Amino acid sequence: MVGARVAVVATVATVLTVSSFVTVTAVPAGGGVALSTTARSTYYGVPLGGKCGEYGQTCRSPGKCEHGTCKTESPVGGPCGGSTNAYCKDDEAKCTDGRCSKESPLGGECGADSGYTCVDGTDCQDGMCQTGSPVGGPCGGSSNAYCKDEGATCTDGRCSKESPLGGECGADSGYTCVDGTDCQDGMCQTGSPVGGPCGGSSNAYCKDEGATCTDGRCSKESPLGGTCGADSGYTCAAGTECKNNLCQEESAAGGPCGGSTNSFCADGTRCESGKCAKESPVGGPCGGYTRTVCVKGSECQYNVCRRTY
């Protein structure tokens, strides 16, 4: 009778190993055999990469059935496809070159490691989708823009770039002049002194206050007693004339001349001892009350100008 009971236990245990554990409880001699079964599933589902769905097969956690195969969810930037047994969980993401990728809007995240790619018309700069801004355009901050021109930098929210001699410049343009040049009339130019070149192809402007560009040269009005002359670039003010490279005023007969007077004698007179004296021709009166001097090549003899030989 005991042998028969053991056979029953073995048979039941064999049947239940697929779906449950069997517990045999000891009983007193002569008593019946007590069988205790604890329902515990040993079926874990289809592993990753296995077939699912067609006949009701379910995937082992954390796998999910995707297109008849058990796969895991992968975030943007995570692996997908191939032997990874992973799919992109974001509905808008796509599996590209073994990675889950998704388009990112202007100002959105981007970068190779992130898996986010920028929408058309934007570029990935410093991990963010931005538009390319030209010199003079906005950049940085909330603009979501970067300076696209080579050599340009973002300064105070604007794209700026150094401009060479003769190049464009100006606050609105975004171009700043290189050292040694200044922005004049929207162009980078060098400062030229009075008498120096200016205008045209010289890329130079007149740097001295009051100077103007005249016929390709920097010129400036010179006061009475000031420097003058074609090579100097200085021109005399109205009422004065350039004599001996100095701006002087005309003095009539009897007026001062020479020295520090800044005066020259009018035509027909000559400076004698600081005074303008009227010239007398050969044969004319001279000396005494006449206050005249003889023209060059003659001398005063007995109050008459006589030719010298």
Cβ neighbours of 151 (radius 10 Å): 9
Q: Is the pLDDT of residue 279 over 50?
A: yes
pLDDT given for residue 168 in this prediction: 96
Per-residue pLDDT of 77-88, as tens digits, reads 999 988 899 999
Tell me the whole-structure pTM to 2 decimals.
Answer: 0.56
The pLDDT assigned to 280 comes to: 95
Report the pLDDT averaged over residues 54-79: 91
Close Cβ partners of 114 (under 8 Å, ≥ 6 residues apart): 76, 77, 127
CA 283 distance to own-chain centroid: 84
Looking at residue 154, its pLDDT comes to 96
Say how far apart CA 152 and CA 128 lie, in whole Å: 19
CA–CA distance, 95 with 16 (Å, rounded to integer) = 44
